[in-house]
Amino acid sequence: MRISLIVAVAENGVIGHHNDLIWKLRDDMRFFATTTRGHCVITGRKNYESIPERFRPLKDRVNIVVTRNTAYEAPGAVVVHSLEAALDSARQSGDAEVFVIGGGQIYRELLASGEVDRQYITHVEGAPEGDTFFELSQLKSGWTCTELMQQLADERNELGFSVCRYDRTEMTA
Ligand X SMILES: NC(=O)c1ccc[n+]([C@@H]2O[C@H](COP(=O)([O-])OP(=O)(O)OC[C@H]3O[C@@H](n4cnc5c(N)ncnc54)[C@H](OP(=O)(O)O)[C@@H]3O)[C@@H](O)[C@H]2O)c1
Establish if 132 lies at the interface with ligand X (CB under 6 A).
yes
Q: Which is nearer to ligand X, 1 or 74 (CB)?
A: 74
Which one of 34-42, 100-108, 144-152, 162-170 is the stretch in contact with ligand X (CB under 6 A)?
100-108
Helices (H), 51-158: 83-92, 104-113
Spatial separation of the C-alpha atoms in residues 6 and 12, rounded to whole Å: 17
Question: Cβ 64 to ligand X, closest distance in Å?
Answer: 11
Yes or no: say if 165 and 119 are a contact pair by the CB < 8 Å rule: yes
Establish if 86 lies at the interface with ligand X (CB under 6 A).
no
End-to-end CA distance of the chain: 23
Q: Three-state SS for 55?
A: helix
Spatial separation of the C-alpha atoms in residues 55 and 123, rounded to whole Å: 24
Establish if 57 lies at the interface with ligand X (CB under 6 A).
no
> What is the size of the binding site for ligand X (CB under 6 A)?
27
Helices (H), the chain: 26-36, 45-50, 83-92, 104-113
Spell out, one character per residue from 16 to 55, where the chain touches ligand X: x when CB under 6 A holds, - when not.
x--xxx----------------------xxxx--x-----
Q: Which is nearer to ligand X, 147 or 169 (CB)?
A: 147
Spell out, one character per residue from 134 to 173, where the chain touches ligand X: x when CB under 6 A holds, - when not.
----------------------------------------
- Spatial CA neighbour of 99 closest among 29, 21, 1: 1
Spatial separation of the C-alpha atoms in residues 3 and 108, rounded to whole Å: 14
Question: Cβ 7 to ligand X, closest distance in Å?
Answer: 4
| Contact footprint for ligand X (CB under 6 A) | 7-8, 15-16, 19-21, 44-47, 50, 66-69, 81-83, 101-106, 109, 132
